[in-house]
């Protein structure tokens, strides 16, 4: 594994673990699980949001509500090139819309 790949893996792992920990601490009405680089957020109504590390593209992907984002590492953030949204802000917004309340999330980097 190259140092660039190792750097990506470390940053993605820190990000996904932080995301899981923050969601767990918020005690959402959802099941949150982190397994093999994938954070799944499953709601009682069957809806499922996925945040995963995509090693080949060196991105973190988010899928929620029939929309997908691809986040690139930019400085100390993960930013979607098409929308210029930051990962934690984008997920916080889709969760706010789903749950009807603020879901504050902060990037660990």
- Nearest one of 39, 29, 31 to 99, comparing CA atoms: 29
pLDDT at 1 over 90: no
Structural domain including 71 reads 3-99
**How many domains does the chain contain in total?**
1
Query: Quick check: is 51 in a domain?
Result: yes
13 assigned to some structural domain: yes
pLDDT at 23: 97
How crowded is residue 88: how many other Cβ atoms within 10 Å of its Cβ?
A: 22
Task: Place 108 in a pLDDT band, splitting at 50, 70 and 90.
Answer: confident
Please give the Cα distance from 13 to 36 (Å, whole number).
Answer: 10
83 assigned to some structural domain: yes
Q: Report the distance separating Cα 93 and Cα 89, nearest Å.
A: 6
Q: What is the pLDDT of residues 29-38, one digit of tens each?
A: 899 999 999 9
CATH number of the domain enclosing 19: 3.30.920.10
Q: Please report whether residue 108 resides in a domain.
A: no
Q: What is the pLDDT of residues 13-22, one digit of tens each?
A: 999 999 999 9
Average pLDDT of 45-69? 96
């Amino acid at each position: 594994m190259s140092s660039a790949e190792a750097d990506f893996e470390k940053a993605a792992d820190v990000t996904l673990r932080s995301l899981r920990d923050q969601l767990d601490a918020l005690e959402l009405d959802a099941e949150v699980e982190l397994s093999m680089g994938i954070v799944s957020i499953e709601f009682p109504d069957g809806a499922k949001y996925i945040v995963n590390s995509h090693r080949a593209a060196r991105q973190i992907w988010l899928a929620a509500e029939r929309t997908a984002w691809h986040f690139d590492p930019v400085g100390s953030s993960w930013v979607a090139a098409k929308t210029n949204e930051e990962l934690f802000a984008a997920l916080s917004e889709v969760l706010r819309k789903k749950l009807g309340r603020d879901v504050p999330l902060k990037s660990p980097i």
